[in-house]
Structure 1
């Protein structure tokens, strides 16, 4: 419990530090600021992983790194949807940081609930691994089909969170204009939400929807709740900076969804094999364990890293051959003009919404027993 307590306090401290040093005063972060802090958070995750490796051994260390890399890749896929959300709510670039940070904090709290429930279910019922495996396999197949089909976003039902946007607008009386970085304001004596609060709520809820496949995915790599939580927390911590760092590079990652579908399918197979090994269902092998090979942590980490590397290289090669969205990353503050290949996030309510491509949910989106860690 001491380890858990210290970790939670540290996570809260990082978010508070981030808010008071970067987000409290509205501004559009520069490429240098975003890049520096993205590297800081990645380095923090690497140091934490090495500490886990040193204190609890290579098995747990490898599990953390596999989980972190997977969650980081899945979180990058979220960014495409965030572009659309900001465009729909017409959030100015200098206010996007606050919505991102608070939305991610909300999502992390809700993911913590999912992790507790998932860990409890796994400890009580070994057959839950079958369900997790089926969810991931379904998501992987659907994502690959949608990616190959190249479906484009529709006007109001395109991104994950599209339905949430409509619900938020119906439930929360919202002003049509922003009032600085306020989430709530008074209009004619009545309290009303600003579009920034609407965007924040949609980001938080949307990220929880993404957790429906990312949480089962990481449980396929480690059954240690502590590692599941820390991998999620560290992956989400630098998401705000990554959003501004990648900028126009998002539309060049055309094969990211393909790579993620391969990773999710691989983890699904790993989960199903583990479920067979731990089998207690009477209609499968008479309720006895099925002797099947189990995929090692080292192999998992290798497959995940290789898949992401291939997807990234293939994406950049395709972008270079096709002319790509050249210059978008070098001009992060460019507006969505007639000649811009990728509009800056949040340039208007009906902005192009960034590159159109499918994300892992299948909807179109812009562009070892023992004393383990935390026990």
Structure 2
């Protein structure tokens, strides 16, 4: 792709404008968005990504458009798993619900900036050392195996990384929420607020996820312009998806398995590409390996859609079946084993229990839903330190 300098600035500038509008609106009226509001905004960002892909098709051809769509879908699917960790962060810090939009928005902006640096470094390394595809591919396969086998246990708790622990130890902080303010002055001393810590937690956590998402998208396209735009479009709709997804996240019981298959597929594709461009002296005498098939982008795009589609359908089917089995075991209203609990069948939460929850606490799984404990999260593959 031959993207002129003004094309880079125009694209990044337009995306920055949309983000700044979001920041301005949220800053003026912090609130919990309704399903309709979140749905409208998410539909806008999805439509914008689709239209951008069509623009790429018109300007540079179907090959690059396919690479953009494949990268965008991959980044979006990996971002869905990020939401589970974001929920854990919100619950851990007891973020008031009306402030969660602001925290997510600023955290996402930090993530976009950090990913931009990551993408630029990746492009430099790839151009200088083609053998890095071996490392990327091996890492993605390793991550896929960790996901598929469960890796470490997911204890539904967020553990602060070393950066956050250092900041909390180095800088005095107030325990009181002061709206969206990042610092306050108390008794003549400037203190950081919980909002600043939460924003840093969201941004640095997303950077950890970039350790596998960036190599994954470079396995689909080597164009930094497409890598950057696909990442930005995926992150721009993440805030709306956080509030819109509701109870769906805990129903995606096979999400980690689907992501494992997806990352393994891209990892193998990266290794095959590395063999095509091999220059390591201890592999085939430093010559490209002939006979290794090259997976076209249309096949990759089709495989990604198929993997995500099967994962979603199978997850929803499993969740529906489990719900029916639980309902059958509970029996008619008032006759189940927990019928002595006032207010409904087993599993219901009464108003007193809800009143005991700290203000703004969000249960892990989705805003207002129970924790997802039936599938290992991609977060289990990353060391928080």
TM range (shorter): 0.7 to 0.9
Question: For residues 64 and 255 of structure 1, do their structure 2 counterparts lie closer, same or farther at Cα, with a shift above 3 Å needed?
Answer: same
Match of 2:155 among 153, 166, 172: 153
Deviation at 1:167, TM superposition (A): 3.9
SS in 2 for 1:45: helix
Residue 234 of structure 2 is aligned to residue 202 of structure 1: no
Q: Which runs of 4+ in 1 moved over 6 A?
A: none
Deviation per CA, 1:44-90: give whole Å up to 9, x if none: 00000010011100000000000000000011110000000001111
With normalisation by structure 2, the TM-score equals 0.85
Distance 1:351-1:43 versus aligned 2 partners, 3 A rule: closer
Inter-partner Cα distance in structure 2 for 1:254 and 1:163? 30
Structure 2 Cα separation of the partners of residues 32 and 351 of structure 1: 20
SS of alignment partner, residue 33 of structure 2: coil
Which has the higher Rg, Structure 1 or Structure 2? 2
- For residue 182 of structure 1, report the CA deviation from its aligned partner: 1.3
Aligned to 1:254: 253
* Per-residue deviation, 1:287: 0.3
Residue of structure 2 equivalent to 1:106: 110
SS at match of 2:295: coil
Contact kept, 8 Å, 1:50 with 1:61, in 2: the verdict is yes
- Which whole-Å CA distance do the structure 1 matches of 2:31 and 2:186 have between them? 25
Deviation at 1:24, TM superposition (A): 3.3
Aligned to 1:142: 146
The yes-or-no answer on 1:338 pairing with 2:342 is no
Quote the Cα distance in structure 1 between the aligned partners of 2:268 and 2:48.
31
Q: Which residue of 2 aligns with 1:92?
A: 96
* Cα distance in structure 2, aligned partners of 1:230 and 1:203: 20
- Matching of residues 312-327 of structure 1 within 5 Å: 312-323=312-323
Rounded Cα–Cα distance in structure 2 between residues aligned with 1:347 and 1:38: 29
Q: How far is 1:12 from its partner?
A: 1.1
Tell me if structure 2 keeps the 8 A contact 1:87–1:347: no
User: CA-to-partner distance for each residue in 1:7-64, whole Å, 9 max, x for gaps?
Assistant: 1111211110111124432111001000110010000000000100111000000000
Name the counterpart of 1:70.
Answer: 74
What is the CA-CA distance between 1:155 and the residue it aligns to?
A: 4.7
TM-score, normalised by the number of residues in structure 1: 0.87
**Which residue matches 1:18?**
22
**Residue 9 of structure 1 aligns with which residue?**
13
Indicate how the Cα distance of structure 1 residues 349 and 241 shifts in structure 2: closer, same or farther if over 3 A, else same: closer
Aligned to 1:300: 300
Deviation of the 1:322 alpha carbon: 1.3
**Structure 1: runs of 5 or more not aligned:** 327-335, 366-375
Query: Given that residues 89 and 158 in structure 2 are in contact (C-alpha distance below 8 angstroms), is that contact kept between their aligned partners in structure 1?
Result: no
Report the Cα offset of residue 168 of structure 1: 4.0
Task: Decide whether aligned partners of structure 1 residues 156 and 83 sit closer, same or farther in structure 2, where only a CA change above 3 A counts.
Answer: closer
1:355 aligns with 2:372: yes
- Residue aligned with 1:185, SS: strand
- CA distance change for structure 1 residues 89 and 305 in 2, over 3 Å: closer, same or farther? same
Unaligned 5+ residue runs, structure 2?
328-346, 365-370
Q: Tell me how large the CA RMSD over aligned residues is.
A: 2.4
Corresponding residue SS for 2:241: helix
Answer yes or no: is 1:221 the counterpart of 2:223.
no
Distance change >3 Å, CA 310–CA 66, structure 1 → 2: same
Aligned-pair CA distance for 1:350 = 7.4
